[in-house]
Amino acid sequence: MRSFRALLLAGATAAALTIGGIAPATAASLPAAVTPTPTPTPSASTAAPQTTPTPTPTPAVTPKPTATTPAPATPSAPQPAATATPSPTPKPTATPTPKPTTPPAPVFRQPLAAKSYTVSSHFGPRCIPVQGGSTYHYGVDMAARAGQPIYAIAAGVVTATVTGTSSRAGYIAVRHTISGAQYTSIYMHIWSATTHVKVGQTVSAGQRISQVGSSGVSSGNHLHLELWKATSTGSAAQNAATFLKPRGVDLYAAAAAVNAKPTPATCTYYTVGGVNFRTGPSTSYSIIRMLPRATAVVHVPGTITTGFIPVRVGSQQGWVSAGLVTPTKLTPAPAAVPPPAPAPKPATYATTAALNLRATASMSARIQLVIPKGANVGPIAASSGDWRKVTYAGKTGWVHSAYLVKR
């Protein structure tokens, strides 16, 4: 380890060089004319030289060293090796985030083979088509033959399979992801929902999932196609026809015919029985009056609240249950026929004396028995002249009317 004195001497030498106008770095390039300082043994613990004469600068101009012949360096006190300053670690170059590529648009397919169906009902408000039907149509109806194949309109996952009955519409629901949003397509009025798919199964666009039926409230074999878009509060019905058209599937152009009629401003229905005409859309509202069977009511299509529709009867406004009207004109119920008056009971007779009950209406006829005086012989069954046919004690015969009296 260097002593404190050695450190002072080294400092003085460096100061002398600097004061003389030659920096330590320049001193290393002086010519040999400068008196050399004894070279110390290069060691970290070697003491400083005994005598260090102050170098006298040579008046001559110091020649500049050439690039090929470097000037000899004047030995000097060992300087601590310069520690190379580490180059700063270069910041890693940020990998550019690739721009998200738009995924290819999903493939869409016809739910029924082209030209194999007719469009029988549009999406939106409509007149109730049959008793129990809806006045706002959440799908597009495509009438087709029973058993015709039904295909998924897009790839997705089956979320529901409900088999239909005569009173419940069967359906299959398929969930899709389209342009980042979730949709559900529903295929209704099928009979058996599990002939081709099951819940949780992934299906491709155009894959057969069922067949056309007429379950539930239905006027005939058809596919009722619905499309719902998930929202933050639930779901919203979409018009499947207008949704699919810009995606290459035109339900109307592919139909053999479009038989659906435009929705009129008002619809006329007829009550199917005695129907309560109420002040509001529930049974808790008061009854204005009872509407008899076949009463005509006028309704604005598409308006319905809790199963009740607002209607006009003549000049009166009120509400009736949507399930108790039909678009089919009915005949009024026949007037009640009073029951016929009961037939009067036939008069009964009694004998006024002991009386022979004969086999025929003749004095010469055989006597079957003698009826005592005051006996009840019941009503007269027949007459022949003065003779009356009666029954007594299980025997039927003839007696003379002169001995009978009405009771």
pLDDT, residue 93, reads 57
Q: What is the pTM of this model?
A: 0.56
- Whether 180 is in a domain gets the answer yes
pLDDT, residue 338, reads 83
- Whether 98 is in a domain gets the answer no
Secondary structure of residue 175 in the 3-state scheme: strand
β-pairing verdict for 156-162 and 136-137: unpaired
Nearest to 190 by CA among 222, 159, 230, 233: 222
Burial class of residue 223 (count of CB atoms within 10 Å of its CB; 0-12, 13-18, 19+): buried
Q: Is 191 left (phi over 0), alpha (psi -120 to 50) or beta?
A: alpha
Same domain, 361 and 393: yes
Q: Report how far residue 70's alpha carbon sits from residue 68's, in angstroms, rounded to the nearest whole number.
A: 6
The whole-angstrom distance between residue 15's C-alpha and the CA centroid of its chain comes to: 92
Same domain, 242 and 134: yes
Same domain, 208 and 278: no
pLDDT, residue 349, reads 92
114 touches 257 (CB < 8 A): no
Same domain, 281 and 352: no
Nearest to 121 by CA among 306, 251, 212, 311: 251
Tokens at 209, concatenated: 């999932």
Same domain, 315 and 358: no
Same domain, 248 and 279: no
Query: Interior CA angle at 154 toward 153 and 158, to 5°?
Result: 95
Query: Interior CA angle at 172 toward 166 and 175, to 5°?
Result: 155
β-pairing verdict for 257-258 and 118-121: parallel
- Domain containing 169 equals 118-258
Q: Any idea which residue has 């029973």 for tokens?
A: 146
Q: Is 374 left (phi over 0), alpha (psi -120 to 50) or beta?
A: left
Please list the alpha-helical segments (H only) found in 109-248: 240-244
Q: How many domains does the chain have?
A: 4
Strand-pairing partners, residue 9, are none
Average pLDDT per consecutive 10 residues, the chain (407 residues; last block may be shorter):
42 39 38 40 40 46 45 48 52 55 68 98 94 93 98 97 96 96 97 97 97 94 98 96 97 97 95 96 96 96 95 97 95 82 88 92 92 92 93 92 90
Return the CATH number at 295.
Answer: 2.30.30.40
- Whether 134 is in a domain gets the answer yes
Q: Three-state SS across 105-130?
A: CCCCCCCCCCCCCEEEECCEECCCCC
Same domain, 296 and 271: yes
Return the CATH number at 174.
Answer: 2.70.70.10
pLDDT, residue 291, reads 96
Same domain, 241 and 372: no
Same domain, 25 and 127: no
Give Cα separations from 70 to 63, 301, 304, 319, 327 (angstroms): 11, 107, 106, 115, 116
Over its C-alpha atoms, the chain yields an Rg (Å, rounded) of 59
Same domain, 283 and 244: no
